[in-house]
């Protein structure tokens, strides 16, 4: 076991000294694309042509699937691409040359500070509660004249809990109507909490809300880079102007359309991961670990100072997990064998 290499990124070796290695560090779907998606990708050939810049087929399919107007949907290279478009449109510098402010919980998705910085805006981070929840009162209190965008992440990556419908709506009502509230629902399909907020319901009611979704997680298409935002025309018209031309490739668009057409298979796979998530969460709690509400395809261990050590021990067991500073470790739900090996490590870790 000592001789097993540790890998920070990239493809781990499949088998090392008889021990299969597993990547549980990026909240990916461990399952390969569903057969119809793989076939649709293989059938494409006309790569000499540019894709449809408006992703019309995908937006039409999504409009039908979500029961929203296609005009309200803007696609991007992953939901990160869609987020960059939102920030480019709404956050940057004020007329006085000062940076606009973008507020979000912390810890949350590690790309937020990068995207906000790229847009030329300033991050305002509001600590999550000890059980990994957004502190919406503190976020509301942090709003200033310079605040342009608020990012809400539900379930929160990396800590796991959802925002409830009730608290989110109450919060949105307190936010000035010229501040854009983004509800990042990258893990929405994994949510089983009945009181969870639904970004699409919020976007229908509030013209300053953007729902952000992706094909990377439940649909398992992270490598193809396709995501989208949904907002009312008041915001969408600005997003179209800020959208990167041809951001979604034709392969990505076609794969996403076929995945939506086969959503029953996606749901089945998601359910198997939800079952595994619940097995891992219950197993950890049974061992006496504190695990915040886990509604995504990952669990969070509040390991504090021991985070790096735990990640190293996992690496020695050929499990790649993600330590976040001296805060904690996030472990993605993967193959059954990987999850069991992770539980076995937690059973002996003291």
Does residue 253 interact with ligand PMP by CB under 6 A? no
C-alpha to C-alpha distance for 190 and 169, rounded to whole angstroms: 21
Is 157 a binder of ligand PMP (CB under 6 A)? yes
Among 153, 181, 202, 255, binds ligand PMP (CB under 6 A): 153
Residue 237 to residues 71, 110, 150, 233, Cα–Cα distance (Å): 9, 28, 19, 6
Mark the segment that binds ligand PMP (CB under 6 A) among 77-85, 86-94, 123-131, 249-257. 77-85
CA distances from 150 to 146, 180, 210, 319 (A): 12, 6, 10, 35
Shortest CA distance to 24 belongs to which of 329, 292, 289? 329
Query: Which residue stretch of 75-83, 234-242, 243-251, 305-313 sits at the interface with ligand PMP (rule: CB under 6 A)?
Result: 75-83
Q: Does 159 bind ligand PMP (CB under 6 A)?
A: no
Return the structure tokens found at 293: 């509400």
Check binding of 79 to ligand PMP (CB under 6 A): yes
Residue 292 near ligand PMP by CB under 6 A? no
| Using rule CB under 6 A, residue 320 touches ligand PMP | no
**Do the Cβ atoms of 123 and 147 come closer than 8 Å?**
no
Of the pair 19, 191, the CB lying nearest ligand PMP is at 191
Q: How far is residue 316's CA from residue 241's CA, in Å, rounded to a whole number?
A: 48
Q: How many residues bind ligand PMP (CB under 6 A)?
A: 13
Residue 130 has a CB neighbour count (10 Å cut-off) of 10
Residues 165-204 interacting with ligand PMP (rule: CB under 6 A):
184, 186
Is the CB of 115 or the CB of 338 nearer to ligand PMP? Answer: 115
* 79 and 216 Cβ atoms separated by less than 8 Å: yes
Q: Does 227 bind ligand PMP (CB under 6 A)?
A: yes
The residues binding ligand PMP (CB under 6 A) are 27, 78-80, 109, 153, 157, 184, 186, 214, 216, 222, 227
């Amino acid at each position: 076991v000592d001789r097993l290499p540790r890998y920070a990124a990239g493809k781990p070796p499949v088998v090392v000294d008889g021990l299969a290695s597993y990547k549980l560090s990026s909240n990916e779907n461990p399952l390969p694309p569903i057969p119809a998606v793989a076939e649709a990708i293989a059938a494409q050939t006309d790569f000499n042509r540019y894709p449809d810049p408006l992703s019309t087929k995908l937006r039409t399919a999504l409009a039908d699937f979500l029961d929203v107007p296609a005009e309200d949907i803007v696609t991007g290279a992953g939901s990160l691409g869609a987020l960059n478009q939102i920030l480019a449109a709404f956050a940057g510098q004020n007329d006085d040359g000062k940076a606009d402010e973008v507020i979000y919980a912390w810890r949350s998705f590690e790309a937020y500070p990068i995207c906000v910085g790229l847009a030329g805006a300033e991050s305002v981070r509001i600590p999550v509660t000890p059980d990994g929840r957004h502190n919406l009162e503190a976020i509301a209190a942090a709003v200033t004249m310079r605040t342009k965008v608020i990012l809400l992440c539900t379930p929160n990556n990396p800590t796991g809990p959802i925002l409830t419908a009730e608290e989110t709506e109450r919060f949105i009502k307190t936010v000035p109507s010229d501040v854009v509230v983004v509800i990042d629902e990258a893990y929405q399909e994994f949510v089983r909490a009945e009181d969870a907020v639904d970004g699409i319901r919020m976007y229908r009611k509030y013209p300053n809300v953007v729902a952000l979704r992706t094909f990377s997680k439940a649909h398992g298409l992270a490598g193809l880079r396709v995501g989208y935002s949904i907002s009312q025309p008041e915001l969408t018209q600005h997003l179209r102007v800020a959208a990167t031309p041809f951001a979604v490739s034709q392969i990505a668009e076609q794969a996403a359309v076929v995945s939506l057409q086969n959503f029953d298979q996606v749901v089945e796979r998601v359910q198997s991961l939800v079952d595994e998530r619940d097995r891992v969460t219950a197993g950890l709690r049974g061992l006496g670990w504190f695990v915040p509400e886990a509604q995504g395809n990952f669990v969070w261990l509040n390991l504090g100072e021991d985070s790096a050590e735990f990640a190293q021990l996992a690496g020695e067991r050929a499990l790649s997990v993600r330590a976040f500073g001296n805060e904690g470790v996030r472990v993605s739900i993967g193959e059954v064998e990987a999850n069991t090996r992770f539980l076995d490590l937690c059973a002996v870790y003291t």
